[in-house]
Structure 1
């Protein structure tokens, strides 16, 4: 099963460019994908097969194209990943997003709480004679 965490927006744009260069039929044939029956990626006014684009984007990210068998279906699969990367994905006629997905899409995002700055851990003082860590008193137990 492929993981798509390494796929970035740039990898998806590279796959779109290859799709445009090869043409839809050739692109799908080379990578073994069937034409999309549902979710389609929309970019610059053109539509693309969402699973095929994401599968080839996976190739650009990892060196291995993901196959159609490695995708979850529907709105929680390729469509969700592409949306997270900032792309528009259309839904098939009559498709309904889950109640959770609808609420997430409709709910405004809360601003993230500011994080505390990372303070590096203080280095423990070391005895210059025996190189042992000094106790809180600052006097070496071995050399004193």
Structure 2
């Protein structure tokens, strides 16, 4: 279970309105950091991790930064795609070793990720799954401190 399972589409739409009201770019200076995953909505671009963090705050009362989200901006973008939003991955290309040589070649940039048109769920590699520790009383993901924010 991910921290971002608590958000739904109306939370994200309200988070986008909050982002716009706060001035977008200036808002990121307060929230801390810039995501490499961009939420595309009505011809505008938004920081996917920031929007997911604000949406989590609307859903639970606890706003998250990209550092608070297990899996970072990639996990935030997966949650937003699950809710039907379009995401563009602006991650820099990763150098890949050419077998049999000492040289590397840059990978091509990732294509734009959009929501699936089919109803089947996308496959997730086992290495992409993050298992959160859950509170045994309220079943909410535990923070790194091991002390539940809700129960203690």
Match of 1:22 in 2: 22
Are the counterparts in 1 of residues 4 and 76 from structure 2 also a CA contact under 8 Å?
no
Match of 2:54 in 1: 56
The residue matched to 2:87 in structure 1 has which SS? Answer: strand
Structure 2 CA distance for aligned equivalents of residues 95 and 8 of structure 1: 26
Q: What are structure 2's unaligned runs of at least 5 residues?
A: 92-108, 121-152
Deviation at 1:35, TM superposition (A): 2.3
- The runs of at least 4 consecutive aligned structure 1 residues that moved more than 6 Å come to none
Q: What are structure 1's unaligned runs of at least 5 residues?
A: 111-144
Deviation at 1:59, TM superposition (A): 0.3
Q: 1:92 aligns with which of 90, 93, 117?
A: 90
Larger Rg: 1
Match of 1:34 in 2: 33
TM-score (norm 1): 0.60
TM-score (norm 2): 0.57
Cα deviation, 1:84-117, whole Å, max 9, x if unaligned, reads 00100012261379xxx9xxx69x546xxxxxxx
Match of 1:9 in 2: 9
Match of 2:128 in 1: none
Aligned length in residues: 99
Q: Kindly tell me: are residues 59 and 109 of structure 1, through their superposed partners in 2, closer, same or farther at Cα, counting changes over 3 Å?
A: closer
The answer to which structure has the higher strand fraction is 2
Tell me the C-alpha RMSD between the 2 structures.
Answer: 2.5
